[in-house]
Structure 1
Amino acid sequence: MDRRKFFKAGTLAGVGAALLNPLQGFAHPIENEINYKNKKAKNIIVLVSDGMSSGTLNMANIYSERILGRTTNWIQAYKDNIISRGLMDMASASSIVTDSAAASSSWGSGERVKNGVINISVNGEQLLPIWQKFKKAGKKAGCVTTVPITHATPAGFTVSMKSRNDQSAIAEEYLNIGYDVLMGGGNKYFDAETRKDKKDMYAAFSQKDYNIAKSKSDLKKIDYSKPILGVFGEDSLPYAIDRKNSKELTNEYPTLAEMTQIAIDAMKSHKNGFVLQVESGKVDWAAHANDVAGLIHDQLQFDDAVKVALDFAKADGNTLVIITTDHGNANPGIIYGKYADEHFDSIQKYNQTNESLLNKIKSDTTEKDLIDFIHSNLGFTVTKEQADHLLDYYKGLYKDDDGLYNYKKLPFKSFAEIQKEYNSVGWISMDHSADYVEIAMFGPGQQNQKPFMKNTDLHYFMLAAAEVENKF
């Protein structure tokens, strides 16, 4: 299909009839559909729980209802029938199993690209990302994430790169393009001391009149009249559960919801509107580590950001909120058994991630000390055999190279297998899966969502919802 003829052909030929017949192609009846007939989206907020398998969404809601006494905002919106819902095929140009770069680029460019590249076509053509299109149309644009702001998902909305790994160059591209809000981790890609080329990107952003924030306290003093660069942490922000259980981390690092609110407040008064991408990137990292506490609590952190976006959209009336994920990862689930309920409920006793806990074990830790340490932090008692097996990794008898972000070669897989006996949560792998992913919408345009769409369709859906022609 000629993308330039997208509006003439009708936006929802693959996605629905956006401007011609707003009632065609409902996933199911929506109570507030009448409010959005023939109304364009002045603002668009795209929320991405990176690497969220359906089991992750499910487990976070079960945990929230059973332990916290409330339904998650995402599931409550389904129950209240206020948002449309469908599935999306996220395959890349090189595989039915996508990576985050190709997934985000499919939304960013409207084309499927190979895994590992950002908005570069299979023929090597540089494709114009959607946030640049919206910038050219006069809107403000921003990205917020819990992993480096230069990571694959925000980059897929914003830049074109031959390699997702060139994060130092991505930082420079952000400055050249002039995005309005950038918040996440990744100090090592901005600080002259840690960049290979020794460029001081903070100084460069300051020279272009950016407000620089490096802590939660800095954000409280931020000036909304200037563009914002917020970089928190050397690499990523802490996992939600680790921050929650540390006064120091709580005071130092903002939550995803706090960053989302600041991004909205900074751009909401712009006369031409804004576009914002919000990512809970460490849901994916926790799935790669088969880390159930990290996974559930970062998904709940994402859900808090969903509430911020939905609350704004409900009050504003001109904002399309899109809630989705870029791919599955590890496909976790609660396993049937006599003690499944109480085993799963025991996760409330976990006070840190597996990453945090495993990093504290040393080669000279004794069997008894390890058993006591795990019990005091996670609430269950491993056997002597299980303790000895874990300690063997620290004595160099085994190696565990599993988990994409397992730089210290921690025994993530073995520990998750041990935990399964006590929490009844199983995993199929430690990597991405070819799931059809959840996608939900609220606001102008939601009435045009089809029950099933291709990842590239979302690019044109957003342009159509905002009535921005694809002419750039």
Structure 2
Amino acid sequence: METKEKDTLLIISIIGLLLLGNVSSAVAAQFDSNSSVNFTNSTNCESPVTSEAKVKNVIILIPDGCSQSVETLARWYSGKPLELDNMVTGTVSTYSTDSVITDSSSAATAFASGYKTTNGFLSVGPSNSSVLSTLEIPPEELRYRPLATVLEGSKLEGKATGLVATSRVSHATPAAFAAHVDNRDNETEIMKQMVYENIDVVFGGGSSYLTPVADGGKRKDGENLTKTLLDRCYQYVDSRDEMMNLTTGRAWGLFASSHMMPDIDRSSLAPEEPSLAEMTEKSIELLSQDKNGFFLMVEGSQVDWANHANDPNYAVTDFLAFDKAVTVAVDFAKKDGNTLVIAFPDHNTGGMTIGSNSDSNYTSTTVEDVIAPLKGMKLSSTGLETKIGTDLSSENIKKQLKTWWGIDATDEDITEILKLYNNEKGLSLDYAISEVISRNHTVIGWTTHGHSGDDVPLWAYGPDHLTGHVDNTEIAGYIAKELGFDLNKTNSCLFTEVGEVFSKDNGDGKLDKNEYLLNTTDSSNPVLQIGDDKLPVNTNILIKNGVAHELEGIVVYAPVTGKVYIPSGALSLINETNGIKKNFV
């Protein structure tokens, strides 16, 4: 077994011992050195610092779903070195608890929290229903338990925090830093948790998940979270110009009802949307005004979707847009001198190669062979599908391919595209077009429309940066260490299981001051009641005597286990209210 797999097994095994309180100080020391979490109740959330911070700011940048091949292609395409070329320091392994091939949610959970989890989960412990044969079964106490993230730890440390994405901000990667759910598709719940996490800057897409169905949004709980943001004194913007005019303060900017446009499509189809580099630059401008420093995560979300579609030009142009965002971050870090920049994909997607089965004379491949077909493409495959519309005649598809991609498609190409679209694989039209055109008109090869399980590149700039091969779980502990806080204590501060402190309602029709009940009368808005106090789930609010108090973290409900978790700061308020005499340490 590989050393890192042994380390992972050791970490998971020790978690169970720590949760049961049966671990020696020597083993606990090794547990801490591996940046895993010791979940113990504590009311002290004010300073989870363990050592002097080595850096003031951390910027993570993630080109979702790609590998070294995309970077290589981007370099040929642009004709010059990339910013990332100067930053290659190692590689990252990506597997999840239940699969050699991860999805974005479990991958993001790993580098946000330091724990591997089940595919589809966001910063909660694994289900244990399926675990890789090389791993130990995680302890029962970890199942579905919320896991503190480096964003939450940075926030407790007094730092400003930010999330930027070209997807919906409630999508898998950004969501893993600020939400705790066991289903990545539950984006209305995710968005609510994100709003109440008190993140300082959020830029991306997904405004429909803020507003109720009655107002044209996606929310079935009737809540208008845009109003909530305004009530909390956020600036809310929805265009590039409005974003660029921001100069200070906290801000949310959602520039599309769903995902933002691919970079190659933006100028013609959504010119009001900012670029990833512009969102990154504005985020840094706003966050860097905090004297305590900041944590920022930036995702180039759509490199992944381009590779899912096997669309090489979409992939390379979105990757180049990502590289521009990296340049913004590195330029700031160079001037600041106390900022760490880390970049890495969460996993590979598509299995792109420069060279394909159809390229039999591969040793004579020229630069023009590689980039000429791509240079003629003026839209992504998604944009091309929009131009084709509902007219799937051979004539129309050929016309649009010639107009927007510069491709002289043959009758055989069209037959193949429509076969993939209608029958053989049931692919969407953009996937079918990209697969056929890549195979028949480029030298770019693909192995899948899904993810793959290979290692991904690691790029870094700044003091004491990571080098060599690391597991994705090691990144969170490294960030916490560099910023001077302890994820063990962050977990203790943010997630006390209510049943460990209070008694469950005995069903006598009266809720005593030391009893709790989860009120699910409104299933969309469950409320935890402890005595006379109320804590709405997915918020950071505790209501006592009709007065709302903000907590240092959100209330999280795990439906599968029936457990509810609250920040330890709530315990002091409840203790004060109900006169409960308990030792929470």
Pair 1:233 & 2:243 matched: no
Cα RMSD of the aligned pairs, angstroms, is 2.4
- After superposing the two structures, state which structure 1 stretch, 235-244 or 339-348, moved more: 339-348
Q: Which residue of 1 aligns with 2:104?
A: 100
Q: TM-score, normalised by structure 1?
A: 0.85
Deviation of residue 435 (structure 1)? 1.4
- For residues 302 and 364 of structure 1, what CA distance do their matches in structure 2 show? 34
- 1:382 partnered with 2:409: yes
Q: 1:463 to 1:411 in 2, by over 3 A?
A: closer
Q: Distance in 2 between matches of 1:376 and 1:149?
A: 33
Distance 1:367 1:450, change over 3 A: closer
- 2:354 match: 334
* Aligned equivalent of 1:117, options 96, 121, 125: 121
Q: Which residue of 1 aligns with 2:61?
A: 47
Q: Which amino acid aligns with 1:342?
A: E
Q: Max radius of gyration: which structure? A: 2
CA shift digits 1:191-222 (9 cap, x unpaired): 22212223211111100001001111211222
Letter in 2 for 1:116: G
Alpha-carbon distance, 1:134 to partner: 1.0
2:91 is equivalent to residue 87 of structure 1? yes
**Contact 2:413-2:436 at 8 Å conserved across structures:** no
- Percent identity of paired positions between Structure 1 and Structure 2: 29
AA in 2 matched with 1:94 = D
Change (3 A) 1:276 1:367: same
Instruction: After TM superposition, give the deviation of residue 380 of structure 1 in Å.
Output: 2.3
For the residue of structure 2 that corresponds to 1:45, the secondary structure is strand
Offset at residue 151 of structure 1 (A): 0.8
In structure 2, the partner of 1:163 is 183
Q: Distance in 2 between matches of 1:230 and 1:124?
A: 31
Label 1:232 to 1:399 Cα distance change in 2 as closer, same or farther (>3 A): farther
Aligned to 2:400: 373
Letter in 2 for 1:111: Y
| Cα distance change on mapping 1:434 and 1:382 into 2, 3 Å | same
Q: How far has the Cα of 1:12 moved from its partner?
A: 7.1
Q: Secondary structure at the match of 2:64?
A: coil
Could you tell me which residue of structure 2 aligns to residue 62 of structure 1?
76
Any idea what the Cα deviations from partners look like across 1:246-265, whole Å, max 9, x if unmatched? 1x622x10000000001100
How far apart, CA to CA, are the structure 2 residues paired with 1:469 and 1:377?
52
**1:8 Cα deviation (Å)?**
5.4
1:343 alignment partner, one of 369, 385, 389: 369
1:385 and 1:124 mapped to 2: Cα distance? 51
Q: Comparing 292-301 with 216-225, which one deviates more in the overlay?
A: 216-225
Kept in 2: contact 1:151–1:167 (CA 8 A): yes
Task: Write out aligned runs for 1:234-273 (5 A).
Answer: 234-244=257-267, 246=268, 249-250=270-271, 252-273=272-293
1:14/1:186 Cα in 2 relative to 1: closer, same or farther (>3 Å)? Answer: closer
Report if the CA contact (8 A) 1:374-1:382 is conserved. Answer: yes
Question: In structure 2, do the counterparts of structure 1 residues 362 and 161 end up closer, same or farther at CA, with 3 Å as the change threshold?
Answer: closer
User: Which amino acid counterpart does residue 112 of structure 1 have in structure 2?
Assistant: K
Q: 1:12 to 1:451 in 2, by over 3 A?
A: farther
After alignment, is 115-124 or 416-425 more displaced? 416-425
8 Å CA contact retained: 2:312, 2:438 = no
Instruction: Report the CA distance between 1:328 and its aligned residue.
Output: 0.3
| Separation in 2, partners of 1:239, 1:145 | 12
Aligned to 1:27: none
> Structure 1, residues 103-154: CA drift from partner, whole Å, max 9, x if none?
0101121111110011111222121122111111111111000000111101
Are 1:438 and 2:438 matched, yes or no? no
Task: Show structure 2 runs of 5+ residues with no match.
Answer: 1-10, 19-24, 37-51, 127-142, 491-585
1:11 positional shift: 8.0
Aligned match for 2:478, one of 415, 438, 461? 461
- Between 1 and 2, higher relative CO (CA 8 Å, sep ≥ 6) is seen in 1
Question: 1:128–1:159: 8 Å Cα contact kept in structure 2?
Answer: no
Q: 1:187 Cα shift?
A: 1.5
Alignment size in residue pairs? 426
Unaligned runs of 5+ in 1: 16-37, 78-82, 403-408
